[in-house]
């Protein structure tokens, strides 16, 4: 009911825009881009066209009452022809070759500002935390993992309908309250797609040929199933910090076999955490360094357990886990930027200790691969970037790895052909065991190119 009322109100606002625009066309702005993304999967058996995606994005903003009342809308349409040309992906075409359901509508909201109050009402995404490429605190929105963690986070987040209420009691301070009656689960690639998780392929190899009865139960559309979020942000000197709380449903469904029926359901959990950011300006070895960090305590996070040797799940436990990160950024030699991150994911237990379960064979499982999950996972990230030709040529390299000798190396170069035309070439090289998060894609190494034209 909330969503229907909200859509009606926002559509009435949107439909009224042409009338306002006729009176003051300067209040309306339209922007967008067209982009082509082409990827080749390269492995020992040769190369395969794995993506030929053409995309159109349009966004419009109308100042209804100056900056006090603003309407914003963003749409995105795309189609990936690689699924038409490659028969290997025939079974996946419907799910990953084009937009699904209402995903074409990225943003649709009204902003209202009145003194210390700011309200954003509509379909939107909210980013929390300071981590790059890792969602420690950034758990407000579900994510689209159809292409693993390769796209930008702004493109991966799945926007939700929500009320985003902010109050600023003093300078540089803000209290944010989120009410999210909407629910969407995170998505992943279907079996045998270019970036299908190993766990998805393992489950699909059983569910598809044996025609298992798989039932997914989504949270009911009632107030008690809404998600609530709270963030306090403040500054002390040159240190900015946040305190965060989120209470809602875990966006990844958990599977449980009951007789001949396979049930997939979403479990409620809570997140407590905070972030910090500080730039050192005083003379000394830390001068010019920006230090940032995230910390999160996951209460009742649903974790698979089972036998990693046979890649089989026996069920899931709801544990209290910790995920934290610290990062350092610094500019060298005028235009070289280095960024380093270290993070740890710490699980409550290393083995399952329920009565009646054999601990010798039952371990926590990596939900991406059904391989064994370490109780402490150490994750390192190093990114180096610079620019040449008056900032028109921008090379960058990203190296993400863990202490299990598995990771991803991602170099790329972006060239600004014109003020509104960018061309990017790059690669993703995966290595490690097939039971590890990155190592599972060791046969999915790719080279890619992107051409983007903005207007």
**Tens digit of each residue's pLDDT, the chain (455 residues):** 444 444 444 444 444 444 333 333 678 999 999 999 999 999 877 788 989 999 999 999 999 998 899 999 999 999 988 888 776 665 556 667 777 777 889 999 999 999 999 999 999 999 999 888 889 999 999 999 999 999 999 999 999 999 999 999 999 999 999 999 999 999 988 888 889 999 888 876 655 555 566 778 889 888 889 999 999 999 999 999 999 999 999 999 887 766 566 788 899 999 999 999 999 988 888 888 999 999 999 999 999 988 888 777 888 889 999 999 999 999 998 899 999 999 999 999 877 766 555 566 788 999 999 998 999 999 999 999 999 999 999 999 999 999 999 999 999 999 999 999 999 999 999 999 999 999 999 999 999 999 999 99
Judge whether 277 and 290 are in contact, CB under 8 Å.
yes
Local structure of 445: helix, strand or coil: coil
Give per-residue burial for 40-51: e unless 16+ CB within 10 Å, then b: bbbeeeeebebb
- Residue reference for tokens 């360094």: 289
- Helices vs. strands in the chain: H and E counts, helices first: 6, 24
Local structure of 13: helix, strand or coil: helix
Judge whether 415 and 390 are in contact, CB under 8 Å.
no
Instruction: Check residue 105 and give its pLDDT.
Output: 93
Which residue segments constitute the domains of the chain, with CATH numbers given?
A: 2-454 (2.40.160.10)
Task: To the nearest 10°, report the CA torsion of 436, 432, 438, 405.
Answer: 90
DSSP H/E element including 409: strand 407-418
* CA gap 180, 162 in Å, rounded: 4
> What is the biggest distance separating any 2 CA atoms in the chain, rounded to whole angstroms?
74
Judge whether 203 and 216 are in contact, CB under 8 Å.
no
* CA gap 412, 70 in Å, rounded: 37
Judge whether 172 and 279 are in contact, CB under 8 Å.
no
Distance of CA 382 to the CA centre of its chain: 19
- Looking at residue 140, the DSSP 8-state letter turns out to be S
**Rg value, the chain, Cα:** 23
- Looking at residue 374, the DSSP 8-state letter turns out to be P
Task: To the nearest 10°, report the CA torsion of 117, 293, 379, 334.
Answer: 100
């Amino acid at each position: 009911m909330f969503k229907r009322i909200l859509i009606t109100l926002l559509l009435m606002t949107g439909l009224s825009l042409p009338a306002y625009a006729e009176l003051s066309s300067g209040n309306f702005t339209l922007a967008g881009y067209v982009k082509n993304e082409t990827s080749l999967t390269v492995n020992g058996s040769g190369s395969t066209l794995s993506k030929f995606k053409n995309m159109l994005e349009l966004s419009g903003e109308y100042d209804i009452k100056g900056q006090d009342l603003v309407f914003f809308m963003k749409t995105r349409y795309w189609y990936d022809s690689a699924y038409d040309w490659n028969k290997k992906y025939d079974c996946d075409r419907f799910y990953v070759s084009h937009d699904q359901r209402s995903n074409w509508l990225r943003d649709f909201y009204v902003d209202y500002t009145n003194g210390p109050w700011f309200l954003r009402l509509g379909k939107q995404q909210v980013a929390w935390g300071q981590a790059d490429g890792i969602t420690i605190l950034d758990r407000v929105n579900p994510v689209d993992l159809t292409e693993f963690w390769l796209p930008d986070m702004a493109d991966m987040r799945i926007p939700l309908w929500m009320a985003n209420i902010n109050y600023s009691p003093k300078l540089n301070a803000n209290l944010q309250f989120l009410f999210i009656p909407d629910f969407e689960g995170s998505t992943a690639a279907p079996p045998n797609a270019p970036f299908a998780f190993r766990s998805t392929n393992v489950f699909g190899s059983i569910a598809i040929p044996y025609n298992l009865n798989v039932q997914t139960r989504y949270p009911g559309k009632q107030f008690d199933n809404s998600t609530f979020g709270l963030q306090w942000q403040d500054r002390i000197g040159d240190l900015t910090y946040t305190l965060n709380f989120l209470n809602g449903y875990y966006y990844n469904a958990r599977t449980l076999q009951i007789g001949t029926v396979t049930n997939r359901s979403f479990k409620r959990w809570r997140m407590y955490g905070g972030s910090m950011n500080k730039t050192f300006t005083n003379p000394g070895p830390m001068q010019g360094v920006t230090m940032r960090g995230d910390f999160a305590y996951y209460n009742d996070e649903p974790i698979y357990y089972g036998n990693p040797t046979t890649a089989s799940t026996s069920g899931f436990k709801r544990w209290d886990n910790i995920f934290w990160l610290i990062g350092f950024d610094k500019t060298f030699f005028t235009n070289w930027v280095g960024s380093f991150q270290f993070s740890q994911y710490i699980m409550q237990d290393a083995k399952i200790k329920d009565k009646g379960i054999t601990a010798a064979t039952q371990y926590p499982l990596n939900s991406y691969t059904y391989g064994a999950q370490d109780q402490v996972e150490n994750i390192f990230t190093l990114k180096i970037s610079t620019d040449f030709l008056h900032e028109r040529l921008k090379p960058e390299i990203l190296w993400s790895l863990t202490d299990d000798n598995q990771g991803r190396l991602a170099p790329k170069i972006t060239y600004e052909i014109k003020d509104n035309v960018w061309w990017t070439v790059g690669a993703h090289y995966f290595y490690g065991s097939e039971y590890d998060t990155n190592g599972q894609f060791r046969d999915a190494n790719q080279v890619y190119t992107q051409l983007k034209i903005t207007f």
